[in-house]
């Protein structure tokens, strides 16, 4: 071998080694990014690292958690969970992009791995904030991801809003709390927001939720530190939601279409209304968003009805079955709602399912209207991603008998794709176009609600063709 060839081979081997090592670092960093993603507000690597240093003792953070900075894109894919097919491939692809886009950060990451010394930690992120952001990532990855990209003005209040409602929801979902205790607790839950130091132990079906309520004083701390305008929205929505949940916690069940809309309003429409008021209060969107209750409510209903329709089997077969399908709909197709999952009722089951999907589609025009009024790109993304997931889910479950046999979800790949590339107006609208087409292609000729479904599809297409409601 000539000197020259030896030299080239060595260079090649060094590059290969470098690549393998780099891939290893980025992949471990991607895992860490999930945890750290919410702390993106801390803008420098140094600060992120020191934050970890500070919190690692109390929270057992892994050392790898420190590889945070500049990993937003990684986190987006990492959020999808730990079992996605091809996840490693996506990471490496994204990591390659990241490296090219931010070589300096990569250098920092390596440097950190070997030469890290404890720097000063940020002085202005409180323990309560750290707890809140970490908790958010734990209890809702998908939500944490979109929230992380909001401007700081909205990120903190909306994260707080989510945790407050999650606390309320934990009380509602805990079937071990006797009703005579649960109802007043739901109704007065909002008052705890003004009780500094308030927490409660023993509520919640899983460890994360129990912990949230046990350390609710952190959530209260952040709440009390928010602008009064945000506090008012959060407290008001929590009060109204608690009221509604109490109403449906007892004897009352979802029977009529009005009940269905009312229940969904309490648990999801109100969230839409509250968020809208917060957008207005932040000044990032127009003041009109404070009074767009009707459209904002539809945004929530579209998501909630999609989930209720999808979750038939889970809800019907739960230890404490909870029926959210309105009897006005399922009653047309079966004597008992549980009968729909029996193979001999397949035809009726599909018609019932299709009517539920069609009912959700009634909100699509409002959702498009609402989204087209948004002007801030990150607020748009925050609102649009869940909507895109919902329309994808509706297209998946429509006329799909699997809903009665197993859990049905959109493909991991689809979810990742929507999360990663679905952030702007054009992509979100293109998802709507795509999934509306899929729905249309699945309409069975004989379906009693076929005409209605075609109508909603035509309305949505017309809305999309008309374009944005306002110039940017």
Ligand X SMILES: *[C@@H]1O[C@H](CO)[C@@H](O)[C@H](O)[C@H]1NC(C)=O
Indicate the residue among 92 and 125 with the shorter CB distance to ligand X. 125
Instruction: Output the smallest distance, CB 330 to ligand X, in A.
Output: 20
Element (H, E) at 28: helix 3-36
Instruction: Output the smallest distance, CB 263 to ligand X, in A.
Output: 12
Find, among 77, 122, 124, 121, the residue nearest to 96 by Cα.
Answer: 77
Total site size for ligand X, rule CB under 6 A? 11
Alpha helices in 398-424 (DSSP H): 412-421
DSSP 448: T
Q: Per-residue b/e over 112-130, b at no fewer than 16 CB within 10 Å? A: bbeeeeeeebbeebeebbb
Instruction: Output the smallest distance, CB 307 to ligand X, in A.
Output: 4
Instruction: Output the smallest distance, CB 452 to ligand X, in A.
Output: 23
Angle of the 127-139 helix axis to the 141-148 helix axis, nearest 10: 130
Find, among 303, 323, 300, the residue nearest to 312 by Cα.
Answer: 323
Tokens of 207: 């460890």
Contacts of 166 (CB under 8 A, 6+ apart): 139, 140, 209, 212
Element (H, E) at 433: helix 425-442
142 binds ligand X (CB under 6 A): yes
Residue nearest to ligand X (CB): 197
Instruction: Output the smallest distance, CB 253 to ligand X, in A.
Output: 19
Alpha helices in 225-363 (DSSP H): 228-249, 257-264, 270-282, 293-310, 312-316, 327-330, 346-361
Indicate the residue among 262 and 339 with the shorter CB distance to ligand X. 262
Instruction: Output the smallest distance, CB 23 to ligand X, in A.
Output: 30
Exposed, middle or buried, 200 (CB in 10 Å: 0-12/13-18/19+)? middle
Catalytic site residue from 382, 398, 425, 431: 382
Count of CB atoms situated within 10 Å of the CB of 9: 11
Indicate the residue among 277 and 387 with the shorter CB distance to ligand X. 387
CA distances from 200 to 209, 214, 216, 249, 435 (A): 11, 5, 7, 20, 44
Indicate the residue among 74 and 216 with the shorter CB distance to ligand X. 216
310 is catalytic: yes
Exposed, middle or buried, 71 (CB in 10 Å: 0-12/13-18/19+)? buried
User: Which residues from 282-301 bind ligand X, rule CB under 6 A?
Assistant: none
Instruction: Output the smallest distance, CB 214 to ligand X, in A.
Output: 4
C-beta of residue 218 within 8 angstroms of C-beta of residue 128: yes
Indicate the residue among 50 and 304 with the shorter CB distance to ligand X. 304
Alpha helices in 175-225 (DSSP H): 179-188, 207-214, 216-224
Catalytic site residue from 131, 263, 312, 404: 263
Find, among 303, 296, 307, the residue nearest to 273 by Cα.
Answer: 296
Binding mask 107-136 for ligand X (x = CB under 6 A): -----------------x------------
Binding mask 255-284 for ligand X (x = CB under 6 A): -------------x----------------
449 binds ligand X (CB under 6 A): no
Single out the residue of 108, 160, 261, 304 in contact with ligand X (rule: CB under 6 A). 304
Instruction: Output the smallest distance, CB 126 to ligand X, in A.
Output: 8
Indicate the residue among 304 and 351 with the shorter CB distance to ligand X. 304
Instruction: Output the smallest distance, CB 158 to ligand X, in A.
Output: 14
Catalytic site residue from 322, 401, 454, 461: 322
412 binds ligand X (CB under 6 A): no
Find, among 138, 234, 130, the residue nearest to 192 by Cα.
Answer: 234
C-beta of residue 144 within 8 angstroms of C-beta of residue 79: yes
Exposed, middle or buried, 83 (CB in 10 Å: 0-12/13-18/19+)? exposed
Catalytic site residue from 156, 239, 310, 463: 310
168 binds ligand X (CB under 6 A): no
263 is catalytic: yes
Binding mask 194-223 for ligand X (x = CB under 6 A): ---x-x--------------xx-x------
Instruction: Kindly list the catalytic residues.
Output: 263, 310, 322, 382
Question: Which residues in this chain contact ligand X in the complex, by CB under 6 A?
Answer: 124, 142, 197, 199, 214-215, 217, 268, 303-304, 307
């Amino acid at each position: 071998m000539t000197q020259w060839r030896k030299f080239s081979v060595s260079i090649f081997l060094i590059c290969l080694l470098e690549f393998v090592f780099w891939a290893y670092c980025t992949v471990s960093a991607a895992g860490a990014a999930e945890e750290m993603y919410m702390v993106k507000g801390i803008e420098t690597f140094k600060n992120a690292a020191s934050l970890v240093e500070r919190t690692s003792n109390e929270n057992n953070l892994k050392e790898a958690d420190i590889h945070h900075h500049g990993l937003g894109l990684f986190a987006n894919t990492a959020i999808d969970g730990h079992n996605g097919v091809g996840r490693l491939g996506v990471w490496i692809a994204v990591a390659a992009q990241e490296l090219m886009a931010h070589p300096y950060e990569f250098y920092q990451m390596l440097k950190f791995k070997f030469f890290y010394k404890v720097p000063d930690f940020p002085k202005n992120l409180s323990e309560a904030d750290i707890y809140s952001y970490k908790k958010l990532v734990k209890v809702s990855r998908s939500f944490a991801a979109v929230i992380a990209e909001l401007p700081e003005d909205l990120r903190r209040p909306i994260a707080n809003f989510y945790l407050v409602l999650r606390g309320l929801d934990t009380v509602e979902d805990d079937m071990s709390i006797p009703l005579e205790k649960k109802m007043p607790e739901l109704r007065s839950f909002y008052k705890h927001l003004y009780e500094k130091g308030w927490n409660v132990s023993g509520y919640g079906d899983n460890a994360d939720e129990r912990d949230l309520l046990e350390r609710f004083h952190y959530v209260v701390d952040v709440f009390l530190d928010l602008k009064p305008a945000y506090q008012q929205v959060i407290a008001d929505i929590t009060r109204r939601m608690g009221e509604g949940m109490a109403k449906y916690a007892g004897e009352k069940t979802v029977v009529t279409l009005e009940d269905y809309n009312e229940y969904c309003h309490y648990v999801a429409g109100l969230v839409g209304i509250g968020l809208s008021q917060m957008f207005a209060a932040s000044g990032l969107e127009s003041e009109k968003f404070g009074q767009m209750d009707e459209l904002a409510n539809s945004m929530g209903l579209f998501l909630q009805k999609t989930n209720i329709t999808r979750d038939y089997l889970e809800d019907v077969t739960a230890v404490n079955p909870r029926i959210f399908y309105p009897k006005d709909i399922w009653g047309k197709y079966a004597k008992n709602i549980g009968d729909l999952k029996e193979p001999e009722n397949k035809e009726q089951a599909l018609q019932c399912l299709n009517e539920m999907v069609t009912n959700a589609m009634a909100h699509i025009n409002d959702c498009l209207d609402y989204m087209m009024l948004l002007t801030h790109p990150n607020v748009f993304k925050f609102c649009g991603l869940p909507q895109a997931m919902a329309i994808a889910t509706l297209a998946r479950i429509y006329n799909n008998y699997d809903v009665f046999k197993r859990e049905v979800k959109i493909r991991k790949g689809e979810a990742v794709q929507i999360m990663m590339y679905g952030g702007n107006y054009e992509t979100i609208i293109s998802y709507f176009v795509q999934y509306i087409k899929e729905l249309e292609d699945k309409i069975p000729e004989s379906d009693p609600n076929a005409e209605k479904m075609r109508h909603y599809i035509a309305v949505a297409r017309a809305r999309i063709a008309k374009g944005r409601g306002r110039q940017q």
